[in-house]
Amino acid sequence: MCGIAGYVGTRNIISTIISLLIEVQHRGQEAAGISLIRTDGRIDVVKGRGYVLDVFNEETINILRIASDNIFGAIGHVRYSTTGEYLEHQAQPVALGDENYRIAIAFNGTIANYIELAKEFNISSNRGDVFVLAEVIYKLALEYGKDVVEALKVLPYYVIGGYSLAVATSEPRIAIARDPYAFRPLVYAYNEREFVFASETSVLECVGFNNWSEVLPGEIVVFDGNSVEKTRSTFSAEFSPCIFEYVYFSRPDSIFNSISVYKARIGMGVELALTNPAQGDVVIPVPDSSRPAAIGFSKASGIPLEEGIIANKYVGRGFIAPPFIRDTLSKLKYGFVREAVNGKRVVLVDDSIVRGTTMRSIVRRLREVGAKEVHVRIASPPFRYPCFMGIDISSREELLAWRFSDLKNIAKSIEADSLGYNTVEGLRRAVGLPSACFACFTGIYPFKEFDLEKMEKMISRCYV
C-alpha cells in the first residue's frame, strides 16, 4: 500500500501536489517524492526518505521552484514498502528514458511476479518491483510507437498483483490506470482548466475537488492538457477490491467503490457485537481507524463508548511502519486515560490483529492503568494469510492468527481475558459489495492459476 497523487492546472503546482501528498500521508510514511513534468519534455524528480514535510522542506521546495519554469504538471508518491527491503532508493516517482522519450511512474500496489517479469524483459530486478514495472511499461510503450496508453492496455496480461498507478510522459501527458481486479482505489476530477487525481476521494475533497470519479476496473484515464480521454484494457478479471481498504487502509471520510468507508466500519462494529458479544462496562476503541467500528459495537451492544486511549499523532501508523521500529512504536504510540478504564471491564475494539505486537502492548497498558478485565473484539476476521497485492507480508509465519489457530491461544498470546473476531460473512454484509478480495482472511486469491503455495513461493524470492 502506498499513496499517489497528481495535478495539472492553473493553481500553484508545487503547493498543490505537496498538499495532495500531505492528505494521502496515511498510506505511506517511509518516503515521499514529486516528479515535475515540463512542457518541453523534461522530467525532474525530487524525493527522499521520511514524511512529506520532512522531504519537502525549505531546501527541496527551493529546488522545485528553480525547476518550475514551463511546468505541465506533477505526480507524487508516499511510500510504504511492500516488497524487498526498506531502502531510500526505492522512493518514487521513478523516471527513465532518454531525450527522445521519457516517463515517470508513481505506483500503489505490489507486482508479485516482478522477478519473472525482469527475466522476460531482460531487466535488472535488484531495485524492486516499481523499477521493473516502470521498465516494462516503458518497453511496451516503445513497442507501440511511444504510446503509453497502449502499453497500459496490455499490462494486465503480464503482471500478477495489484496496481493503481500514474505515468507522466514527455509528450507531455499523464495517464492513470487501475488494474482489472480493482484492488486499490484511484479517483480523479477535472474541469476546463484542471486535472487532478489521488488514491482516495477524501484527498481530492480536502483540496476542493468534490465532483470526482472513481477509475473503473481496468480503466485508463489520460489528460494531455486539453482534454480527458478514457479507455480500458480488454483483460478479463473478477471484480476483487481489497476488503482491507475498508477495514484499515482508507480514511473513514473516503468513498471506495461507491461505498462509504465510515459506514462500512460502523457496520463491522454492529456485526461484531451481534456475533461476538462481550460482558463489559465500557467500549474503548484503538485509535484512530477502529473508532467507527467501536461506535457500531457500542450502539448494537448498549455498552457506553469512552475514549480511553489517546494516539500520539507524531508516531504514525504502526502497521505500515518500517519493520525495524515496529516494536518501539507499539510502546510509544498510545497514551491511556486512567479515569476511563480504572476498575472497569473493558471491551477493546480494534480493526484487525496482524502480527500482534501492538495489541499485546495495549492490553498490558490497560491493565497497568486499572482495567479489571480486557475483552478484545476485532472488527475483521482472523488475518491468517499473506497478501500479494499491496501489504508487506510475505509469509504466513508473520501472522499471529496463523501461528495460533486456536482462539484461546491467540487470546493468551495477547494477554486478553477473551477474544472475538468478526466473520467473513459479517464483514461482507457490513461492506455490502457483491464481490471483493478476502484472501488475507480466507487464503483464496483471485488469480486463477495461483493458489497460496504458488503465490508465497513466488513472492518469497523478492525478500532474498
The catalytic residue positions are 2
Distance CA 45, CA 97 (A): 13
Helix residue ranges per DSSP H, 67-200: 114-120, 129-143, 148-154
Cβ neighbours for 185, distance < 8 A, ≥ 6 positions apart? 164, 199, 200, 201, 214, 241, 245, 250, 254, 256, 257
Looking at residue 154, what DSSP letter applies? H
Residue given cell 501527458 in the structure block:
173
d(CA 162, CA 457): 17
Rounded (to 5) percent helix, strand, coil in the chain: 35, 25, 40
Question: What are the distances in angstroms from CA 184 to CA 4, 248, 398?
Answer: 11, 13, 23
Burial (Cβ within 10 Å: 0-12, 13-18, ≥19) of residue 41: middle
Cβ atoms 91, 48 nearer than 8 A: yes
CB atoms within 10 A of CB 312: 12
Are the CB atoms for 196 and 267 separated by under 8 Å? no
Give whole-number Cα distances, 130 to 104, 136, 185, 197, 462, in Å.
Answer: 11, 10, 18, 19, 12
Distances, alpha carbon 188 to alpha carbons 28, 46, 204, 211, 214, in Å: 20, 23, 8, 9, 6
3-state SS, residue 395: coil
Residue for grid cell 510507437 = 145
